[in-house]
Structure 1
Amino acid sequence: MSSPCPAREANPARASLRWFLALALVSALLNSSAPTPLYPHYQQTLALSSVSLTLIYGGYAGGVLLSLLGVGNLAGRVRDLRVMIVPALMAVAGGALLFALANSFWSLLIARVLAGIGTGALTGAANVALLRFGPDDGGKRAALSATLSFTLGLALGPIFSALALQLGIYPTLLPFMLIMLMALCAMVGVTLYWPDRAREGAPTLSGQPLRTLRQGLAATGGAFFLCAGALFTAWVAAASLLAIGPNVARELLGMTDLGLFGYLVAAYLLVSGLCQLWCRRLDARHTLLSGCLALALCLLLFLMAVHWQRLGLALFGFLVAGYAQGAIFVGSATLVNRIAPRASHARLVSLFYVIAYLANWVPVLLGWVSDHAGVGRAMDLLCLGGALASLWLAWRIQARAFHHG
């Protein structure tokens, strides 16, 4: 008698569905990174202050946080995940359309918030769907697909914008029209290829009583906050460099072609993604420690590059920053999964990412410093403060044991 559940790997409909799920993630992450090289253009044409620019950048993180807090815990409980994936893709497409038509601070801010809401909701739902409809390999293929989709989406976004800037082909319109097309294509594909009788069983809860967040934090001690603090510091550096980096490159390093900055951001994001794949094989504590040390190094390199006006030093610093971001993300996330008690695991992981996404609002402070004291002082504050924080975290991580929860 044939098996009632044929091998999922051999099912062409499921393979097509996984492809469209990956396309959905790529479109969402493209929408995240594509605006980066365009910020100076918007600042000049719309007469925006640096604070306004960093608020627009932070709007994306605000949207992601709204999704994480609002629907982030539903993905594992919903049977038909299309009810989350399709609206999330609509938010991604709507954010891209609004960004393409934006002509004011508020339209840009709302576009970024919509993009963040779509990405936050889609990330959880698409990852769960990849796991449900992937091969029976313990989730390895699903994790690989998600990581590659994130890396590809983040890296290609600045490339699309940089090419449009350099060629002068509607740089504020064309990249976002492409993102809209990809999101709509993913929406149609997910709807058409969704199995009639999917292996939907939403996870059943075990008989183990759930612990409160306070009990989970008490069980992990300071180890949880070291991991969250490391990722927060890394994302502060990343968000700040992406938000004020184009102005730093133009005013302090003499980079007149900001299309080149887009390629540099793409290289940085590509290195970060590849490091995430490589670091999964290494010891998590050593990975996190090396990431913190690399983050301190890259910030000091940026500081020297700005004061000595050495563009090559800044380029090297970006590559080191890519390793630092990848290593800190993998190391901290792995350690949180290891130390979190099973009964409070979901709550601790949610708090971990909420803390990390709050880092995207720190550039607003740097924007204020830029408006009042200059972009050079903002870079001094970022590099010195971030380097000292990274070195302190590395010292504490070296002395801390991370036991299983």
Structure 2
Amino acid sequence: MSDGLTVDEVTKTNTGSSQVAILLFLALALMSALLNSSAPTPLYPLYQHQLALTSVSLTLIYGAYAAGVLISLFGVGNMAGKVKDLRSMIVPALLVVLVGALLFAMADSFFMMFMARLLAGVGTGALTGAANIALVRFGPRDGGKQAALIATLSFTAGLALGPIFSGVALQTGFHATSMPFVIIMAVAAIAALGVMFRWPAIEIAEPVGGVAAGVGGPNSTLAAGLRATGGKFFLCAGALFICWVVAASILAIGPNVAEKLLGMEDRGIYGYVIAIYLMIAGASQILSRRLPARYSLMFGCLAQAQALSVVVFAEAIYIHSLGLAAAGMVIAGYAYGAIFVGSATLVNLISPKASHARLISLFYVIAYIANWVPILLGVVIDHASLQLAVNLLFMVSAVACVGLGIRVTRAGFPR
């Protein structure tokens, strides 16, 4: 053929185009789930006022998302690696995300908001594993590096854009409690259609050493893995737990803290603050991958990061300084990314191959439980004061972070 491509060349070009398209739609799918996770944050004070919710009710709504993720991980988490056509998991998960967003857009009661968050968590949990495996299958053969980068960027974009949509809706007064979720429904629908109709026709073989590696055998039990890793596993899990406690508290009670203790009158602005915090956390994750994991975790806990951030927050509230609070958010964002990457990488390094999957599952279960700690803060707020709840959070998390940072330096992790 003098003026065109051969049949093989055309086939390869079409396959390459199809793979690029599916990577984009998978990224959009992940982004839609995380949009649904973060969009409600700036709206919580408005919902609390309109629906006369207690602080406990508000934090229960926030914690329902983590419950949904855990339900999904336990229910379908292990299926993703065994399913040949992952569309059968990704598309239903996107529909669950869409229904969760629809419920939130229509919510006029505690029950509807609780169910909306629960469904958002179920959809995210089911989608995350399946979409990540699909990214590896259809991405370049680089050990999953590009897949991990796409997933991180998608998560960061989704988490950051959610509060921005809500902030704009609050400031403009344009259907503040529904407009952000209509956008999320549109994104989820586009992603679902793209996954259904742009899925590559060629079956991609599972990479060697994929998700099923190391399963089975006498040493594959969780107990065997915990014996092999000793206290190092719980040190990593504890660091991520405290990190997520602080992050969850920023998202769950942060809007009320900004309004009542820092005097931030424009609720929409807090959406932009949260977006910046989450973008810093995402950038920190990407940059922290270049550091040895042990130092990343140590710097996140000790190196004037997580412990310092809560001290800065406490001082900002004491002197009513929004500028100092903003500095605390920047430090906390860096700490979140550094601790997340450092602890997750170290768990991967120290986990025996036979029990690796089970240890990773437990690691994230412990982390997601941190999302329920704000419920205890809600009890303190309802029965005492917001100030006392914030002080307890600051004191406990600062002491825990310093202690964990010291333990990390002495734990003898792989260098």
Question: Shorter-chain-normalised TM-score: which range?
Answer: over 0.9
Are the counterparts in 2 of residues 80 and 200 from structure 1 also a CA contact under 8 Å? Answer: no
For the pair 1:286 / 2:306, whether they are aligned, the reply is: no
Q: Which residue of 1 aligns with 2:59?
A: 54
Q: 1:403 to 1:262 in 2, by over 3 A?
A: same
For the pair 1:83 / 2:88, whether they are aligned, the reply is: yes
Are the counterparts in 1 of residues 69 and 125 from structure 2 also a CA contact under 8 Å? Answer: yes
2:172 to 167, 178, 184: 167
Are the counterparts in 2 of residues 7 and 135 from structure 1 also a CA contact under 8 Å? Answer: no
For the pair 1:343 / 2:348, whether they are aligned, the reply is: no
Q: Aligned to 1:79, what secondary structure does the other structure show?
A: coil
Residue correspondence of structure 1 range 209-220 to structure 2 within 5 A: 209=217, 211-220=220-229
Are the counterparts in 1 of residues 31 and 154 from structure 2 also a CA contact under 8 Å? Answer: yes
Q: What's the CA shift for 1:207?
A: 8.7
- Structure 1 runs of 4+ aligned residues shifted over 2 Å read 1-10, 200-210
Q: Aligned to 1:132, what secondary structure does the other structure show?
A: helix
Q: 1:200 to 1:124 in 2, by over 3 A?
A: same
CA distance in 2, matches of 1:8, 1:326: 38
- Paired residue total: 404
Q: Which residue of 2 aligns with 1:226?
A: 235
Return the letter of the residue paired with 1:328.
Answer: I
Q: TM-score, normalised by structure 1?
A: 0.96
CA distance in 2, matches of 1:8, 1:357: 42
For the pair 1:189 / 2:194, whether they are aligned, the reply is: yes
For the pair 1:395 / 2:406, whether they are aligned, the reply is: yes
CA distance in 1, matches of 2:159, 2:294: 26
Gaps (5+ residues) in structure 2? 1-5
Q: Which residue of 2 aligns with 1:249?
A: 258
Are the counterparts in 1 of residues 245 and 371 from structure 2 also a CA contact under 8 Å? Answer: yes
1:308 to 319, 336, 358: 319
Return the letter of the residue paired with 1:334.
Answer: T
CA distance in 2, matches of 1:114, 1:370: 27
CA distance in 1, matches of 2:260, 2:65: 26
Q: What's the CA shift for 1:83?
A: 1.1
For the pair 1:262 / 2:296, whether they are aligned, the reply is: no
For the pair 1:34 / 2:39, whether they are aligned, the reply is: yes
Are the counterparts in 2 of residues 228 and 352 from structure 1 also a CA contact under 8 Å? Answer: yes
Q: What's the CA shift for 1:131?
A: 0.3
Q: What's the CA shift for 1:139?
A: 1.3
Q: Aligned to 2:190, what secondary structure does the other structure show?
A: helix
Deviates more, 1:93-102 or 1:139-148: 139-148
Q: What's the CA shift for 1:195?
A: 2.1
CA RMSD of aligned residues (A): 1.9
Q: Which residue of 2 aligns with 1:114?
A: 119
Q: 1:205 to 1:249 in 2, by over 3 A?
A: closer
CA distance in 1, matches of 2:352, 2:12: 33
Q: Which residue of 1 aligns with 2:109?
A: 104
Q: Which residue of 1 aligns with 2:77?
A: 72
**Deviations 1:79-104, CA, capped at 9 Å, x for gaps:** 11111101100110000000000000
CA distance in 2, matches of 1:205, 1:158: 38
2:309 to 298, 318, 332: 298
CA distance in 2, matches of 1:6, 1:322: 45
Q: Which residue of 1 aligns with 2:281?
A: 272
Q: Which residue of 2 aligns with 1:324?
A: 335
2:381 to 354, 358, 370: 370
Return the letter of the residue paired with 2:132.
Answer: N
